[in-house]
Amino acid sequence: MKETELITLLKQKDRGAFKIIVDTWQDMVFNTALGILQSEQDAEDTAQEVFIQVFESIENFKEESKFSTWVYRITVTKALDHIRKKKTKKRFAFIQSLYGKEDGAMIDPPDFFHPGVKLENKENAKELFKAIEKLPPNQKTAFVLNKMEGLSYGEIGEILQLSTSAVDALLQRSRQNLKKYLKEFYEEGM
C-alpha cells in the first residue's frame, strides 16, 4: 500500500492503516527518542505519545513535506518536552527534599546503551552518550538526527524548521562541544 493511501485511510481513522504506520515507523521513532533521551523507558513512553499524536492529529498533516519528516518533528518535540518535564520534576523533588518531603528523587540509570552500538564499542559509546547528554537540546537533537539517524542537513532543517546553514552551525557547535567534553574525560582518565 502506498504512503498516500495509508495517510488517507488514517485520516478516516482506519485502525489497520494506523497499525501499518506504527509497524513501519516504530524503530525510527524509538531510536530517535532513545538518542535524545538516552533512556529506553523514556524512549518507549515517548514513542507511544508520538503515535497517539500521529493518530489524533493526522488531519493536521498537510502533505507539504514527507510524512517521515512530520513524524520526526513530532518525535523530536515529544522527546524535548519529556526532557523539560523531567527537569521540572527533578527541581520540584529537590525543593521538596529541602523541606523534608522526600518522595524519592528521580535517578537516571547509570549506564545507557543504544541498540546500534556494537558490544566491543560499548565503553567508548558510554562516554560519548554522556557527552551528548551535556549538549544543549538543539545541538543534541541535530547531532542525533544526523549521526545516529543518518539524516541530511536538509532533512534536519525541515524537521527542526531551520535553514541548512543553521543546521550546519548547530552540528559544528555540537562537534566542538563533544570534542571538549571527551577531551576532558580522556585527560582525567590518564
Identify the pLDDT of residue 110.
Answer: 41
> Cα-flanking dihedrals φ and ψ of residue 88, to 5°?
-65, -45
Q: What is the pLDDT of residues 38-88, one digit of tens each?
A: 899 999 999 999 999 999 999 999 888 899 999 999 999 999 999 888 766
CATH class of 112-190: mainly alpha
Cell numbers representing residue 107 in the block: 535517578
**Residue ranges of the domains in the chain?**
1-80, 112-190
Q: Which CATH architecture has domain 1-80?
A: Orthogonal Bundle (1.10)
Separation of alpha carbons 22 and 75, rounded Å: 13
Of 17-26, 90-99, 110-119, 154-163, minimum mean pLDDT range: 90-99
Identify the pLDDT of residue 121.
Answer: 58
Global pTM reads 0.68
Cell numbers representing residue 126 in the block: 558510554
Q: What are the percentages of helix, strand and coil residues in the chain, rounded to 5?
A: 75, 0, 25
Do 112-190 and 1-80 have the same topology in CATH? no
